[in-house]
Structure 1
Amino acid sequence: MLRPILSASVRVHALLSYAPTNRLLAWLRRRDRLKFGIPFMLLGLAYWMATILLAAWIQSGAPAALNLLVLLTFWNSAKFITFDPYSLLALTVARTREAVARRRAVKRERQDVADKTPVPIAT
């Protein structure tokens, strides 16, 4: 029983990795693009508004099949809204690591210069 469930979950995961919003989030997770976290959170808010408008439209008599679209827009809004704190945290960690690496490089460079400096001999 566990094997078919696991197999289905792996196939669904593989299929959803090609979804446009998942590809966009994977593109944004690179170091040079983490700074775009806040603007893309606004995209999440746009998805949230679409969810609200679709739900209101369904309540006023639209086809019930649109509930799948409501679910999809809600899920995408949640992904983009939660990406913002992640991107800020990842950007802070990356900048801290880069600053530490720069300080270590400067320290190593100073040590190399100090090692190459000839020591005067007292006579």
Structure 2
Amino acid sequence: MFRLIWIASIHIRSYLRRYMPTNIILDGVRTRRGLKWGLPVMLLALPYLYGASICVELIEDGAPGWLHLIVLLCIWNAMKMAWIGPISLILLARVRAQEMVARQHAKIAEADSHQEATDSGPVLAGAR
């Protein structure tokens, strides 16, 4: 029984990861090219919060109780969108620092190879 629940949860997670819009957006933001879009993606939290407030008003006016699930889903998605902004800034700073270190190492290696090439330069014909 435990194995069946475990496998079902794996398949559900895989499905949600692949086809739900917020997960697709978050996967795109987590790439190197997408890190710069973290702060604008934070603005997507506002429509989710607005949708949650509309559902709460409908529930208070007598709408069915299953709308509570929609409220929870909207709030969860809003939190995901709100957190990706600061996280993407931290990841972007880390990636840029790594790229800067790699550029410095490449520059040092290039200077070393250039220095070796000039030290053991071509032998002149009259220098024997």
| TM-score tier after normalising by the smaller chain length | 0.7 to 0.9
Matched, 1:96 2:104: no
For residues 75-118 of structure 1, the C-alpha deviation after alignment (integer angstroms, 9 at most, x for no partner) is 11111111112211111111001100111111111111111123
Paired with 1:23 and 1:57, the residues of 2 have a C-alpha distance of: 29
**Off by >4 Å, runs of 4+ in structure 1:** none
Paired with 2:84 and 2:53, the residues of 1 have a C-alpha distance of: 20
Which moves more between the two structures, 60-69 or 76-85? 60-69
Distance apart, 1:49 and its partner CA: 2.4
In structure 2, what residue type is equivalent to 1:4? L
Aligned residue for 1:25?
26
Distance apart, 1:74 and its partner CA: 1.2
Matched, 1:44 2:45: yes
What is the correspondence of 1:3-14 to structure 2 with a 5 Å cutoff?
3-14=3-14
In structure 2, what residue type is equivalent to 1:2? F
Q: Which runs of 5+ in 2 are unaligned?
A: 121-128
In structure 2, what residue type is equivalent to 1:85? P
What is the correspondence of 1:34-113 to structure 2 with a 5 Å cutoff?
34-113=35-114
Paired with 1:24 and 1:52, the residues of 2 have a C-alpha distance of: 23
Distance apart, 1:30 and its partner CA: 1.0
> Between Structure 1 and Structure 2, how many residues are aligned?
119
Counting aligned pairs with the same residue, the percent is 39
Q: Aligned Cα RMSD in Å?
A: 1.5
Q: Which runs of 5+ in 1 are unaligned?
A: none
- Report the secondary structure of 1:87's partner residue: helix
